[in-house]
Amino acid sequence: MQTRVGLIALLIASLAGATSSVCADDISVAVAANFTVPMQIIVAGFEKESGHKVQAAYGATGKFYAQIRNGAPFEVLLAADDETPARLIKDNAAVAGSQFTYATGKLVLWSAKPAIVDGAGAVLKNGGFDHLAIANPKLAPYGAAAVEVMKALGAYESIQPKIVTGESIAQTHQFIGTGNALLGFVALSQVLKDGKIEGSSWIVPARLYAPIRQDAVILEKGKGKPAAEALLKYLKSDKARAVIRSSGYELP
């Protein structure tokens, strides 16, 4: 009798494992570069809970838009803005009704060196630097926000000759971190570690730039795919939201 019960239990476990394997799927996700660190944490939790596997690519939202329109096999987009997902829906390249804001980004003026950036951003008008890095404003929403801030402060014209442009916010961070640019504008999430920022920084007041609403959307290639729907649902979970908040973002 015990042997029979044991065999039944083993059969049930095997069937459950087989069902899990059948249901599990791979999903290709395009992710805004500023969201790299929190996404890596979120992916680990999602894969553990769902059994799905995520293949994530990180880069500039504008470049992803062009790639998706040219047939790139992405199934989900986590953009650095809310305009790109809306454009993709309009282009019939993304699923209507799937778009939502997963985070609101914060812009920071940052230097890897201490005592360079003051707490009020006065360094922008005072000068004293040869290069200031921003992400390409045509491709990266954080770059566009940086230009907006400098114009709002009346400093853009004088700084423009000193601007070096990164292909993405990740490359911009690299320019500053390696000293190729003394300072620059990046996402707060890129420089916030354990609640602290190394070097010197000025968290730009939200009133100086339009809100950086970062939206997610299921792309046409992910339409009807359970893994895509599961990932977006997980992004709304308390676990994911806790990671997003602790990484320097506002929650919608």
CATH number at residue 47: 3.40.190.10
How far is residue 34's CA from residue 37's CA, in Å, rounded to a whole number? Answer: 8
Domain count for the chain, please give it: 2
Q: Against a cut of 0.95, is the pTM above it?
A: no
Same domain? For 122 and 145 the reply is yes
Residue 144, domain extent? 107-203
Same domain? For 140 and 161 the reply is yes
Burial of 6: CB neighbours in 10 Å, binned 0-12, 13-18, 19+: exposed
Domain-embedded: residue 225: yes
Q: Under 8 Å CB-to-CB from 146, ≥6 apart: which residues?
A: 107, 134, 135, 137, 184, 185
Q: Under 8 Å CB-to-CB from 199, ≥6 apart: which residues?
A: 110, 111, 112, 113, 114, 116, 117, 191
Structure confidence at residue 23 (pLDDT): 63
Structure confidence at residue 127 (pLDDT): 87
Structure confidence at residue 158 (pLDDT): 96
**Which residues of the chain fall short of a pLDDT of 50?**
1-22
Structure confidence at residue 252 (pLDDT): 84
Structure confidence at residue 194 (pLDDT): 86
Same domain? For 16 and 137 the reply is no
68-73 long-range contacts, Cβ below 8 Å, gap at least 24? 68/30, 68/93, 68/219, 69/93, 72/30, 73/28, 73/221
